[in-house]
Chains A and B, each alone.
Chain A
Amino acid sequence: MTTDFARDNSNLQDAFYALSLAKPAPDAEVLDKLVRCYPEFAAELTDMAIELVLDPLGDDEVAEAASGSSNTDLMVLRAMSRFQNHLHTIKTEKRASTTMPQLPPTNPFSTLGTADIRALGQRLHANTVFILKLRDRVIREDTLTPGFKHRIADELKAPLDVVVAHFAGQSSISTQAHYKADQKPEASDKQTFEDALRSSGLTEEQQKSLLSL
């Protein structure tokens, strides 16, 4: 079974945590407040509020104090194994990134022609301007949602770490870009994901759809 939670939009996870922490059993006031804070997740928050109402918290405390079983021990061992494997991968990647010479990151968009860029824009329910921002690393990597990065990796058939490294690299002006000045223009400061969406001529609906990935 594949697990999707880690891939979910981190903003959605934050909204769920915020709702759950606001009050053990949410009421209309709390729900309204959270929906105003996260209007893009109104439906998800309402579903979660219904589940929270039907999920009495006291049971967790009783269960936590209950005696364990071999089944529990096995679950814990497997979870610890996943923790160790993940930690090992992170440490190995960190070590590799500090010992490797600092080459510019591979640009997974570099093989895309004009038609490919347009097609990618359509598949993402975006436009060419926005895709060019992705190609030229104009958007700050830490503001992109995990779900969005996964989607780009899937679309480009590139490993996720390559996509993440690309976005984390310095913004650039593509060698294929045309400009009127005598000298090649310098890349400007990076934009946040939300700013990039707003300034790419996308509709509200398109912006919401991309933010919710």
Chain B
Amino acid sequence: MALPLQKVSRDGVLYQRAADIEAAIDTACGQEIEELARRSEIRDRSAPDYLPSECLVYLIREAGRNGREDAQNRLLQTLLSRCARILNAKVPDSVIATAPQLREDILGDFAVLFAKDGSVEDKYTLDFYEARFNLAFRAFRISRVNSEFKRLNRTKALSDPDDPDRPFDDEVLERLSERERAVGDPEQLVFTKQIRAAIRDLPHDERDALVLCRFIRLKEESDNPCERTAATVCGVTGRTIRNRLKRALAKLSKIKEVV
């Protein structure tokens, strides 16, 4: 049986693996390294022998705890290959000038987590990766990319104020959520990617207002001064938030004409 996770959230809840991960670990623990290495190379997630990344993290940590360096190295190498492919796709050269070096740094920093695992400085960070690997690695990647953006001091100009009284054109966002629900629709991927790319290209103030109000669904503003709203989060008035939303939606509505 797999060792239980130790990481506890700040509100006192113990992180846990999913039941299928626990089962996959139980099966894998009884297998030889040759078999595990073979299974770790399988990329098709639907294949019966596919080793989930959460399970790989457990096996690598377990090999490290037991001093089985060969197993630790072989499995870590496969896991890093998976991460390298994710990084190549998610941090492409077009996103940031230093992308090649950044990808290497992220992967290297991630590998170091395994070296530090169990040490005083870093006891249980990898527990997150055993709970939900891709979600944890996504947070790690985004945090590093953001740090790099800040380091390069990448800023976008604030947009000009405008008349807030025109109604919003939410059609593009409605279509986005409709298509996101339509799993398997080949058009969905193209459309979603176009919209997300367009949102990313908005000036930061407009992008933040749009995502906070229409995706995260914070209120634009509130009479209750204690309530967190898009206005309080951005440190502006509700009117400014509406201005920014209007400008963002006007830009996005151009995509509607193309798609």
Q: Are the C-beta atoms of B144 and A5 separated by less than 8 Å?
A: yes
Q: Are the C-beta atoms of B9 and A37 separated by less than 8 Å?
A: yes
Q: Closest A-chain residue to B142, C-beta based?
A: A51
B65 at the interface (CB under 8 A from A): no
- Bound-state CA distance A17–B7 (Å) is 11
Interface positions, chain A 1-49, Cβ under 8 Å from B, are: 1, 3-6, 8, 10, 13-21, 24-28, 31-32, 35, 37-38, 46-49
Contacts of B81 in A (CB 8 A): 68, 72-73, 76
Tally of contacts, chain A with chain B, CB under 8 A: 190
Interface residues, chain A, with chain B CB atoms under 8 Å away: 1, 3-6, 8, 10, 13-21, 24-28, 31-32, 35, 37-38, 46-57, 59-66, 68-69, 71-73, 75-76, 78-80, 82-83, 86-87, 90, 141-142, 146, 164, 168
Nearest CB on A from B218, distance (A): 5
- Could you list 26 examples of A-B contacts with CB < 8 Å? A1-B105, A3-B105, A3-B109, A16-B139, A17-B128, A20-B136, A21-B15, A21-B132, A21-B139, A25-B215, A28-B216, A31-B228, A35-B228, A48-B142, A48-B143, A61-B45, A64-B53, A64-B86, A65-B85, A68-B85, A71-B88, A75-B104, A79-B108, A82-B112, A83-B114, A86-B116
Interface residues, chain B, with chain A CB atoms under 8 Å away: 9-11, 15, 43-45, 53, 73, 76-77, 80-82, 84-90, 98, 101-112, 114-116, 119-122, 125, 128, 131-132, 134-140, 142-144, 146-147, 192, 196, 199-200, 207-208, 211-212, 215-218, 228, 233
Q: Are the C-beta atoms of A76 and B107 separated by less than 8 Å?
A: yes
Q: Are the C-beta atoms of A28 and B218 separated by less than 8 Å?
A: yes
Nearest CB on B from A96, distance (A): 15
Quick one: which of B15, B44, B87, B120 contacts A142, CB cutoff 8 A?
A: B120
Q: Are the C-beta atoms of B211 and A53 separated by less than 8 Å?
A: yes
Q: Main SS of the interface on chain B? A: helix
Nearest CB on B from A112, distance (A): 25
Nearest CB on B from A169, distance (A): 13
Contacts of B142 in A (CB 8 A): 16, 48, 51-52, 55
